[in-house]
Structure 1
Amino acid sequence: MDWTMRLVAAALFLGLTVVVTRAQVRMSQCASTPVPNEDAGFCRGNLEVSYTELQNISCKVVPNCNNYREKITTWPPPLVKYPGASETATYLLVMVDPDAPSRSTPLARFWRHWLVTNITGTNMKTGRIQGQELSPYQPPTPPPRTGFHRYQFLVYRLSTQNISLLPEETGSPGAWQLDQFQVRFNLGISEAATQFMTQNHMDSPPVRAPGGGGSVQAPPTGGSSEPKYKPKQASGLALPACIHIAYHLWSG
């Protein structure tokens, strides 16, 4: 009887160990991976970006698991925290997509996803993005078959609080002249910057994990954020940008 109980206990322990190990493997496979080396240099200043179900994804690729690449297109604004902010200063936060409509053809580059000015240093340190919202938050919604997009966040210390957009800039968030905006308000170099990468969830076919434990999407390989396939090139220069605009209007 004693040996029978020991065998049962051993079997139960072994089964529990296998279940826990598989769960740990799935969790590790679902972890965010760093952006390719060629893009890592953009990140500086210890700027943190966290979404509802994702921890800090600063300088990382959104994992293709738990429907994260689809969910992120509907989540509210992320928590953007800059621990190095001065409590006596005011700040400007910019979120842009430099890869609109695609990284290979960025005709609408620096698509403006979020623009908030007059954020106090105290709020910037804690991630409470409260100030004058010049462009309301627009979730990352990379169009299908356009590869991985970088979503970049920049924080500027302000020397003036009279920040505004020109009428032509408010007409469309696409093809925003970010460099001219920086010069117009003497913003200089951003104090902190970071980015994350993601692509349309329909373009993320699952890759079977070793041992059959769930599935993950392979991260960009070879230091490239381009998809293995080439996005279809439309004739003309304005059409890809128009498609990007239409997609954002439809998805919004």
Structure 2
Amino acid sequence: MALLGLFLVSFAFLWEPYKTETILLPQDLRDASFCHGGLKVVYPELEIDQCSVIPNDQKLREKLSKVWKAPQIYFPKAQKKRMYVLVMVDPDVPRRSAHPAYWRHWLVVNIKGYSLLTGEIRGETLTDYLPPTPPQRSGYHRYQFMLFEQPPHTKISLTKEESSRGKWNLQGFIRRFNLEDVATLQFLTQHFKD
């Protein structure tokens, strides 16, 4: 019986998600200040709760790009009756530069606060989730998750010009709907073959 218990404990340990560590590249030290507010992003085998670089251990980069669906999003400070907006972007398209060209990977509005406490996002999806897919040999890309408080009685939508995911004017979108930043998180990854 003791052997069975030891086996079960060992098995449970093996199935815990990989917890990223804060590993910043020298040129990316400024990225550490981006993360704030306590947002947590959870994929099947990967848990991200701080600015991190995704290692290529356990084929995490490949799974992130090709296997896993949208992550669970946790925000323990969410107020149950408030509404939130979740944005996921890559500001490094086609490669990192001083002038971000945001590629919109995911946009969900009207998120009920209580759903952020459980990780199951309940809201209206304006842009379906697109996994991180940095092109080969384009270096590290930042994938940023931003959570905003949605003002009461505000109908959020994309304009006709914003129907494309690329070259999105994120700052204009934030200003247009008077969104208040409550938490942000990012991770860096590159093509899984690099």
Alignment of 1:53-68 (within 5 A): 53-68=45-60
Kindly name which structure, 1 or 2, has the bigger radius of gyration based on alpha carbons.
Answer: 1
Q: How many percent of aligned residue pairs carry the same amino acid? A: 46
Paired with 1:156 and 1:136, the residues of 2 have a C-alpha distance of 18
* 2:40 alignment counterpart: 48
Relative distance call for 1:105 and 1:158 in structure 2 (3 A) is closer
Please say if 1:34 is aligned against 2:22. Answer: yes
Relative distance call for 1:162 and 1:98 in structure 2 (3 A) is same
Letter in 1 for 2:155: N
Shift in Å, 1:31: 6.0
* 1:26 alignment counterpart: none
SS at match of 1:201: coil
Q: How many residues align?
A: 173
SS at match of 1:191: strand
Shift in Å, 1:161: 3.5
* 2:82 alignment counterpart: 89
Please say if 1:118 is aligned against 2:110. Answer: yes
Please say if 1:192 is aligned against 2:183. Answer: yes
Paired with 1:139 and 1:52, the residues of 2 have a C-alpha distance of 13
Letter in 1 for 2:193: M
- Where structure 1 has 5 or more consecutive residues not aligned to the other structure, the ranges are 1-29, 204-252
SS at match of 1:179: helix
Tell whether the 8 Å contact from 2:154 to 2:177 is kept in structure 1 after alignment.
no
Please say if 1:157 is aligned against 2:124. Answer: no
Tell whether the 8 Å contact from 2:38 to 2:49 is kept in structure 1 after alignment.
no
Shift in Å, 1:33: 3.1
Relative distance call for 1:35 and 1:94 in structure 2 (3 A) is farther
Paired with 1:167 and 1:128, the residues of 2 have a C-alpha distance of 29
Structure with more helix by fraction:
1
SS at match of 1:73: helix
Tell whether the 8 Å contact from 1:154 to 1:194 is kept in structure 2 after alignment.
yes
Relative distance call for 1:82 and 1:57 in structure 2 (3 A) is closer
Please say if 1:102 is aligned against 2:90. Answer: no
Displaced runs of 4 or more, over 4 A: none
TM-score by length of 1: 0.65
Structure with more strand by fraction:
2
TM-score by length of 2: 0.83
Relative distance call for 1:57 and 1:200 in structure 2 (3 A) is farther
